Amino acid sequence: MNSPQWKAVELIHSITGALSEVTHRQTGFLYVTLMNAPSFILCSVIHIFQSFTEGELKQVISALVERKARRDAKLGKRTKRAKNGAKPCSLRDVEVTVSQLGLGYISDEIVLFRYCSGKCTASRRNYDMTLAFMKRERLLMRDSKVKARHSPCCRPTAYEPDISFLDNLNRYHTIHDVSALECGCI
- Give the CATH number of the domain where residue 152 resides: 2.10.90.10
pLDDT at 49: 62
Where is the domain boundary, 64, 82, 100?
A: 82
Last residue of a domain, one of 32, 64, 82: 82
Assess whether 177 and 105 both reside in one domain. Answer: yes
DSSP letter assigned to residue 119: B
Clarify whether residues 56 and 98 are in a common domain.
Answer: no
Do 139 and 167 lie in a common domain?
A: yes
CA distance 130 to 135: 9
Final residue belonging to a domain, choices 82, 111, 136: 82
Work out how many domains the chain is built from and give that number: 2
Neighbouring residues of 38: CB distance < 8 A, sequence distance ≥ 6: 65, 68, 69, 72
Residues 76, 115 within the same domain: no
The C-alpha atoms of residue 76 and residue 69 are separated, in whole angstroms, by 13
Considering only CA atoms, which of 53, 35, 34, 52 is closest in space to residue 44? Answer: 34
Same domain, residue pair 147 and 111: yes
CB burial readout 21-39, b (16+ within 10 A) else e: eeeeeeeeebebbbeebbe
Q: Which domain holds residue 75?
A: 4-82
Say which range, 12-26, 47-61, 151-165, has the weakest mean pLDDT: 12-26
Q: Are residues 65 and 130 in the same domain?
A: no
Shared domain for 60 and 119, answered yes or no, is: no
Q: Are residues 95 and 117 in the same domain?
A: yes
Residues 113 and 139 in one domain: yes
Which residues in the chain belong to E strands, given as ranges? 19-24, 30-34, 42-43, 90-97, 110-117, 154-159, 163-166, 172-175, 180-185
Residue 34 has pLDDT above 50, yes or no: no
For the entire predicted model, the pTM comes to 0.49
- One domain, residues 75 and 101: no
Verify that 114 and 151 share a domain, yes or no: yes
Is 90 exceeded by the pLDDT of residue 110? yes
The distance of Cα 11 from the centroid of its chain, to the nearest Å, equals 31
Shared domain check, 133 and 156? yes
Average pLDDT over residues 42-64: 68
